[in-house]
């Protein structure tokens, strides 16, 4: 059987499958379905300095092959996470990635400082969330701001920092290079694509926030292209996500240059999706005589 272990920012994981932020909570509910210790890692619900109630409903709607959400980072805050969620997560033998968000650079830095001596494994810097009215997109769509916020967060923590990039930009490779220049230990992409739907009967957007983030299988080809471009622009590890629902999707991401993948919206339609993806990757490696999962990373043969 192939070796499935991967290393992201000096953090070793038993396999390359991570559950994506915002779709898996802090893991407790899914642990009632299967032992989450079988995963490579968990990217926790986007966490802010203080508790947030999120945006007003309606804030989720299904779309063709995906969904729009404007949840608005509803979460209990970093102090609650450190006290109530982190000890339980660490007992599950899984890498813990804390996705953090803020309205100001100072908020990001305060969170990074708070978790610096904790047991989390990686900080995932959410600078690209399109469903938050302030911050988020503004930080993620300018190369200068990507580099600057990465630098400042790095100065406030001893933890590895993985920068999550927005797809709502003109040049994803430029943003990837900016994150690396700012000291990022890894990058992850893509976050959701900004989208909108309108109820033709009420003539109002379905989402109270008017716009939201599009995720799910519809975005996979865009995500794959951007992961390939980013992986060819930087030397730090790349974690790919966006519409991954099957082992084939995950393998494509890895061939494009991702050292690991995150599974998000697929969790809502099939709670066992991450487990099936792990099993499918193992089968692919064995069927093709590949001894180490890392050997397929970046091996796409471009015409």
241-267 pLDDT, tens digit per residue, is: 999 999 999 999 999 999 999 999 999
Higher pLDDT, 134 or 263: 263
Integer Cα distance of 168 and 145 in angstroms: 15
Domain count, the chain: 1
Task: For residue 271, tell me if it sits in a domain.
Answer: yes
Catalytic residue among 7, 38, 109, 129: 129
pTM of the model as a whole: 0.96
> Residue 137 — very low, low, confident or very high, per pLDDT cuts 50/70/90?
low
Look up 129 and say whether it is catalytic: yes
What is the pLDDT at residue 138?
Answer: 67
What is the pLDDT at residue 1?
Answer: 87
* Domain housing 83: 6-54+73-194+215-296
Report whether pLDDT(131) > 80.
no
Task: For residue 45, tell me if it sits in a domain.
Answer: yes
Phi/psi-derived region of residue 73, left when phi > 0, alpha when psi is between -120 and 50, beta in every other case: left
Beta-bridge mates of residue 204: 199
- From the centroid of its chain, how far is CA 234? 18
Task: For residue 291, tell me if it sits in a domain.
Answer: yes
Q: Tell me: the pLDDT tens digits for 72-82? A: 999 999 999 99
Integer Cα distance of 291 and 295 in angstroms: 8
Task: For residue 67, tell me if it sits in a domain.
Answer: no
Task: For residue 204, tell me if it sits in a domain.
Answer: no
Report whether pLDDT(104) > 90.
no
pLDDT above 90 covers what percent of the chain?
93
Task: For residue 85, tell me if it sits in a domain.
Answer: yes
Task: For residue 202, tell me if it sits in a domain.
Answer: no
> Residue 130 — very low, low, confident or very high, per pLDDT cuts 50/70/90?
low
CATH number of 188's domain: 3.20.20.70
Task: For residue 108, tell me if it sits in a domain.
Answer: yes
């Amino acid at each position: 059987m192939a070796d499935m272990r991967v290393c992201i920012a000096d953090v070793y994981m038993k396999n390359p499958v991570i559950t994506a932020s915002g779709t898996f909570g802090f893991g407790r509910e899914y642990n009632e379905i299967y032992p989450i210790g079988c995963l490579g890692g968990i990217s926790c619900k986007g966490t802010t300095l203080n508790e947030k109630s999120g945006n007003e409903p309606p804030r989720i709607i299904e779309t063709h092959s995906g969904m729009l959400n404007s949840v608005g980072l509803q979460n209990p805050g970093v102090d609650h996470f450190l006290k109530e969620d982190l000890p339980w997560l660490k007992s599950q033998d899984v890498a813990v990635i804390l996705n953090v968000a803020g309205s100001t650079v100072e908020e990001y830095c305060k969170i990074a400082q708070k978790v610096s001596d904790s047991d989390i494994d990686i900080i995932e810097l959410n600078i690209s969330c399109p469903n938050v009215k302030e911050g988020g997109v503004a930080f993620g769509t300018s190369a200068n701001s990507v580099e600057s916020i990465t630098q400042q967060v790095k100065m406030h923590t001893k933890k590895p920092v993985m920068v999550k990039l927005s797809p709502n930009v003109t040049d994803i490779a430029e943003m990837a290079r900016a994150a690396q220049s700012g000291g990022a230990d890894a990058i992850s992409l893509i976050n959701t694509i900004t989208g909108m739907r309108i109820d033709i009967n009420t003539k109002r957007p379905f989402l109270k926030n008017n716009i939201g983030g599009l995720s799910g299988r519809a975005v996979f080809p865009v995500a794959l292209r951007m992961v390939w471009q980013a992986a060819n622009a930087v030397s730090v590890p790349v974690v790919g996500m966006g519409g991954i629902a099957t082992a084939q999707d995950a393998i494509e991401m890895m061939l494009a240059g991702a050292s690991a993948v995150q599974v998000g919206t697929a969790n809502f339609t099939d709670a066992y999706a991450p487990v099936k993806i792990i099993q499918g990757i193992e089968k692919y490696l064995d069927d093709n005589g590949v001894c180490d999962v890392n050997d397929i990373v970046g091996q796409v043969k471009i015409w």
